[in-house]
């Protein structure tokens, strides 16, 4: 990632556990994007770190954090029992959002959420319940359909980014989009499968996310 923007560790209290995060805060940041991953990923995800780098270069702060503890992750690697536990992932996301909103250097930054896979559903649940704190949501290869109970109540403008060759997930995103009442756009990346591993496709997805966040997070720090 950009060496000019130092990365700092962040410990996030989340009920009876502590979550580990990595924060990058550019000078005069225009907003803060929390990455909410899913499906066995972590704050070290090469895809999310690549996207975060491009957001940093655009003047956006980023927080990549683990939704599971090290012990929970070891269990999940064997059983996969946590990666689809949307209530747990949503709850951990809310803790992180509330925590950063209390930090002096971050408190007045508008917040966006970047969800991937099952993390997209967790992001939408969190956005619905913390509508006063969340300005926008972006989903990359996500499962917003798993947030069906709250889709119609989400107020945050939402961008759904899906690979054109990720046929099943694309249909599920179209279904979720049809159930949302807030502004919701669908961007299809041609030639991309679920993980955006094809040359150039991840950069196209990241560029779409960057443009959306810069538009929806406004002019940066509030005057409040």
Tens of pLDDT, residue by residue over 129-155, are: 999 999 999 999 999 999 999 999 999
**Closest-CA residue to 35 (of 100, 91, 119):** 119
Q: Which residues contact 185 (CB under 8 A, 6 or more apart)?
A: 158, 159, 160, 212
Per DSSP, the three-state class of 55 is helix
Residue 203 domain flag: yes
Residue 81 domain flag: yes
Residue 158 domain flag: yes
Per DSSP, the three-state class of 11 is strand
Mean pLDDT of 191-208: 96
Residue 92 domain flag: yes
Work out how many domains the chain is built from and give that number: 1
Instruction: Please tell me the predicted confidence (pLDDT) of residue 39.
Output: 60
What whole-number distance in Å separates Cα of residue 26 and Cα of residue 24?
A: 6
Per DSSP, the three-state class of 148 is helix
Please write the tens of the pLDDT for every residue from 54-80. 999 999 999 999 999 888 888 888 888
> What domain range is 117 assigned to?
7-216
Residue 33 domain flag: yes
Half-sphere exposure of 168 (CA within 13 A, CB side): 3
Residue 12 domain flag: yes
Residue 30 domain flag: yes
Residue spans of beta strands (DSSP E) within 84-183: 111-116, 134-140, 158-163
- 96, 106 contact by CB (below 8 A): no
Per DSSP, the three-state class of 168 is helix
What whole-number distance in Å separates Cα of residue 42 and Cα of residue 20?
A: 10
Residue 223 domain flag: no
Instruction: Please tell me the predicted confidence (pLDDT) of residue 82.
Output: 84
The domain that contains 198 carries what CATH number?
Answer: 3.40.50.1820
Cα→Cα distances 177→5, 112, 139, 152, 187, Å = 35, 18, 11, 9, 11
């Amino acid at each position: 990632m950009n060496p000019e923007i130092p990365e700092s560790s962040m410990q996030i209290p989340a009920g009876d556990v502590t979550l580990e995060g990595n924060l990058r805060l550019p000078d005069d940041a225009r907003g803060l994007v929390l990455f909410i991953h899913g499906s066995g990923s972590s704050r070290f995800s090469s895809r999310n770190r690549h996207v975060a780098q491009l957001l940093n270069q655009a003047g956006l702060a980023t927080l990549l954090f683990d939704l599971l503890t090290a012990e929970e992750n070891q269990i999940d690697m064997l059983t996969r029992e946590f990666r689809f536990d949307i209530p747990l992932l949503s709850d951990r996301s809310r803790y992180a959002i509330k925590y950063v909103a209390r930090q002096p250097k971050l408190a007045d930054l508008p917040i966006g959420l970047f969800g991937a896979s099952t993390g997209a559903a967790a992001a939408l649940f969190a956005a619905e319940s913390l509508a006063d704190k969340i300005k926008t949501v972006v989903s990359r290869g996500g499962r917003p359909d798993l947030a069906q109970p709250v889709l119609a109540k989400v107020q945050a403008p939402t961008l759904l980014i899906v690979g054109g060759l990720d046929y099943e997930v694309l249909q599920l995103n179209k279904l979720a989009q049809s159930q949302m009442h807030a502004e919701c756009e669908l961007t299809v990346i041609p030639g991309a499968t679920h993980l955006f591993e094809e040359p150039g496709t991840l950069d196209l997805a990241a560029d779409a996310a960057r443009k959306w966040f810069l538009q929806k997070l406004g002019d940066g720090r509030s005057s409040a």
